[in-house]
Amino acid sequence: MSEIKSFSDYTSKYNSNVDFSALFSGTSDSSSVGNTNMLSDYAAIKNGSYGKLMKAYYAKQDAEKLSGKGDTSQKLTLMKTSADSLKKSADALNDSSLLEKKKIKKKDEKTGEEIEVEDYDWDKITKAVKSFVEDYNDVVK
């Protein structure tokens, strides 16, 4: 067996067509760009910016799905849920007991005594109207 004293002896004896420049690219400018990219990718992973970028990307994808560019079955399910809640709030608004006068205890502002007054339950009416408006806006969206 012959002795190998240099790298050129090795390449001439075995496989001289193999390009080993990538192994020794620390000094050449053209191939060090690839190593620099790998190091910058590693640095991005290590400091967390890569993770933030991926979270932002997938959040954008989820937003696009919900905004109308997504799956139609998801949109139909969302529309059905919104329509069902609108129907419930409309039924609550049409309830005849909501618009009947009731005996309510209130404090008299002048004397501070509790008196019984026959009036509409304004809190309940306001809550029913707000619920209807919110559900209607959800359906329109």
User: Looking at residues 7-18, what average pLDDT do you find?
Assistant: 59
Which pLDDT band holds residue 117 (cuts at 50, 70, 90)? confident
Strand, coil or helix: 108: coil
- pLDDT > 90: what percent of the chain? 4
CA distances from 30 to 35, 38, 130 (A): 10, 14, 67
Domain ranges of the chain: 1-70, 72-141
Look up the pTM and report it. Answer: 0.42
- Angle, alpha carbons 40-44-50 (nearest 5°): 135
**In a 3-state reduction of DSSP, which class is residue 13?**
helix
CA dist 124 and 21 (Å) reads 80
More confident residue, 59 or 5: 59
User: What is the model's pLDDT at position 68?
Assistant: 59
pLDDT band at 5 (very low <50, low <70, confident <90, very high): low
| Residue 130 confidence class, pLDDT cut points 50, 70, 90 | very high
Q: Is the pLDDT of residue 16 over 60?
A: no
